[in-house]
Structure 1
Amino acid sequence: MEMRKLGNSDMKITSVGFGAWALGGSGWEFAWGPQDDADSIAAIHRSLELGVNWVDTAAVYGLGHSEEIVARALKEWRGPRPYVFTKCVLRWNAKGNIWKEFTPESIRRECEDSLRRLQVDTIDLYQMHWPPDDGKPGLEQAWQTLAALKTEGKVRWIGVSNFNVAQIKRAEKSAVVTSLQPPYSIIRRQIEAETLPYCEKQAIGVISYAPMASGLLTGAMTRERAAALPADDFRSRNPEFREPRLSKNLELVERLRQVGARHRRAPGEVAIAWTLRHPAI
C-alpha cells in the first residue's frame, strides 16, 4: 500500500487509514447507530491484514468506547502494531452531554484516560479535536499543553482537527503543528481554497476524514436507506442525507459508479481516490 510521510513527524503512514468513529456505538450525540463490537474488531483486523498501518479514534467516540474497542482489537492482533491516533478537548458527563474544554488540567486528565483505555504507554498522534468557538479563549493554552505532553513523552506528535488557517497560525506560535484532520470529500471541498495550500506550504500533514461523506458516496446508500436511518444515527440529521441535497448526491454517486465500472472499482473507492489525488493530502 502507498505510504506517505505525515508532516514533520517520523511516521510514514498508509494513504488510507482506519477511522474508528462509528465503533463508538449508539447512545451518544454523534453516534452512527448500534454497532456490534465483534464486527468492529474484525473490521480493524481486516484493515491491518490489507496493510493499513494507523487507526484514528477519539476519546469522545462512544464516550470512550471506541478507544476501548481499538485496544481490544490491537491486543488480539498478532501482526505489526499500527500507529494509534486519538483526540482531546471534547468532554462529557454521566448524562452524555458533550462540551469543549481547553484547560491544561482537563487535557492532562483526558490524556491519561485515553492512555488507560487504549492500553498504551504513548499516543502516536494526539490531536485537538475542535478549536474554541469564535471569540472564545483557550486555543493557545490547550496547544501549549499538548506540546508539554509531547515533551514529557506522553504523546509522540501533536496535531489539530477542524481548524482553519487562522487557527493553525495561532497554534504555530507556540509549537509546530504536525497534522490537520479536516473533513474533505468530493461534496465538501471548502478547504481547497485556503487550507490545503497553506498546509502544503507549511509541510503540515493532512489526514482528511469522511472522504466517502459518512457513507453517502459508498454506493450502498439509497434513498430508502437514508430515510430509514435510526434516530440515534447522526446522519439522520445531516442535510446531505435529506432533500433537497440527497437527490443531487445520489446522482453524483451514479457518476462515480460509471467511472468505477471502467476500472472495476466501487463508487466509494473512486471517492477516496479523488480525495487522495490532492498533493496536500
Structure 2
Amino acid sequence: MDYIQIPAIAEKVSRIALGTWVMGGWMWGGIDEKEAIQAIIKAVEGGINIIDTAPIYGFGKAEEIVGKALRLIGKSHPIVIATKFGLEWNQFGEIRRNSSPTRIKQEIEDSLRRLGLSVIDIYQVHWPDSKVPFEQTAECLLRLKEQGKIRAIGVSNFSTKQMELFKKAAPIHTNQPPYNLFEREIEKELLPYCIKEGIATLTYGVLCRGLLTGKFRPDSTFPNGDLRKIDPKFQGENFLRYLQAVEKFRPIAARYGKSLAQFAACWALMQPGVSVVLWGARRPSQIEEAFGATGWRLAQEDLRMIDKILTETIPQPIGPEFMAPIEG
C-alpha cells in the first residue's frame, strides 16, 4: 500500500481510502451490517488507514457501522476518519443542503456520538450551500478546530471560486471531488488549483458506480432506489457506449495482471493532483481488490491508448451532476 502526507494530519495516509457510502444501504440496495464491519476490519488489516463516511449515508447508518468497527479494532491500528456535514433530511427521505452554524453544531455532536470519537480528523462540507455565506461556514469550522473537535478542514463538490470565498475565513486542507476515467471535469481547473494551493484531494467515484469493474452487461438492470437507476450513464445508448469503452480497457488491465477496478484506481492515482482515491466496499471480498491498486504504474503508451479509447468511444462524456442534492 502506498502512503502520502496530507495537510494538518500527522499520520501518513494510505492512497486508497475506504469509502462507506454503500455501507449506508440507502441508494445501494441494502446492507448486511456484519459484513460491512468485517470489510472495515479487513481494509485496516490490509494497510488502509483512512475511512471516509458521512451522516447522509444511510441517514446515520454508515457512521454507526464505522463506529462499531472502530471499537472492535481498538488502538491496534491508528485510523484517520473523514466525515462530512451540511445535508439534512426529513422523514420522507427528502434531502436539502444546510451548512448553517446551527446545523454544524448539531451535526458535529451527532457524528462524534455515532463514531464513538472525541475528535474527527477531517471534517468536510458535503455540498456547497449558497444560502449560507461560505465565510460563515468556514469560521464555524475554524472554531471547531480551535476547540480540538476536528483536525483538518475539508470541502467536497466545491468549485475553485467557492473555495476562494471559503478560504477568506479558514484554511482548506482537503477537497473531495468526483473523479474517474469517465468523469474528468476537475482536470481543467480544480486539480491544478489544489496543486497550487497545497490542498490534498480525496477523490470519490473511482469505479464510476461500478461501471469500471466490468461486471455489467447490456441487459443489466437496477432496482428502484438504486442510484444507477437515475444515472444517465446507465441508460440506453449511453450505457452501451460506456460498456464498449470498458471492454476496450480490459486487455490493457490484463497485460499487467490486474482487474479492471485495480486498473481504474491506478490510473486515477497517477493523475497530477490526486492524493487519495476512495474505494467503496460493503463486503470483505470487495476490499481485497483494493490492495492491488497501488504499487505499480501504467506505461505512457497505455495512458495514451486510454485517452484515445475515451475520445473515440465517448466523445461527449456525461458528468455526475445528477447526484447533486437540491438547495434550499
- TM-score bracket relative to the smaller structure: over 0.9
Matched, 1:241 2:222: no
Picking from 172, 175, 181, the partner of 1:177 is 172
Runs of 4+ with >4 A deviation: none
Picking from 39, 43, 56, the partner of 1:43 is 39
Shift of 1:221: 2.3
Matches of 1:62 and 1:198, distance apart in 2? 32
The residue number in structure 1 matching 2:10 is 10
Matched, 1:216 2:220: no
The residue number in structure 2 matching 1:144 is 139
Contact 1:256 1:271 in 2 (8 A): no
Q: List aligned pairs for 1:240-259, cutoff 5 A.
A: 240-259=233-252
Picking from 116, 119, 122, the partner of 1:119 is 116
With structure 2 as the length reference, what TM-score do the two structures score? Answer: 0.81
Matches of 1:168 and 1:234, distance apart in 2? 28
Picking from 83, 87, 90, the partner of 1:90 is 87
**5+ residue gaps, structure 1:** none
Aligned residues: 273
RMSD, aligned CA: 1.3
The residue number in structure 1 matching 2:61 is 65
Q: For residue 150 of structure 1, what is the amino acid of its counterpart?
A: K
Contact 1:162 1:183 in 2 (8 A): yes
Using CA pairs under 8 Å that are at least 6 residues apart, name the structure with larger relative contact order, 1 or 2: 2
With structure 1 as the length reference, what TM-score do the two structures score? Answer: 0.94
Shift of 1:222: 2.4
Matches of 2:69 and 2:55, distance apart in 1? 16
**5+ residue gaps, structure 2:** 275-328
Picking from 263, 274, 280, the partner of 2:256 is 263
Contact 2:100 2:132 in 1 (8 A): no
Contact 2:135 2:167 in 1 (8 A): no
Contact 2:99 2:125 in 1 (8 A): no
1:89-131 per-position Cα deviation (integer Å, ceiling 9, x unaligned)? 0011233221111211110100000000000000010000000
1:244 partner SS: helix
Contact 2:83 2:122 in 1 (8 A): yes
1:125 partner SS: strand
The residue number in structure 1 matching 2:196 is 201
Q: For residue 208 of structure 1, what is the amino acid of its counterpart?
A: T
Contact 1:59 1:114 in 2 (8 A): yes
Comparing 49-58 and 250-259, the one that deviates more: 250-259
Matches of 2:43 and 2:241, distance apart in 1? 31
Matches of 1:16 and 1:223, distance apart in 2? 30
Shift of 1:8: 4.9
Contact 2:207 2:213 in 1 (8 A): yes
1:17 partner SS: strand
Contact 1:22 1:32 in 2 (8 A): yes
Matches of 1:272 and 1:7, distance apart in 2? 22
Matches of 1:86 and 1:52, distance apart in 2? 16
Matched, 1:155 2:150: yes
1:69 partner SS: helix
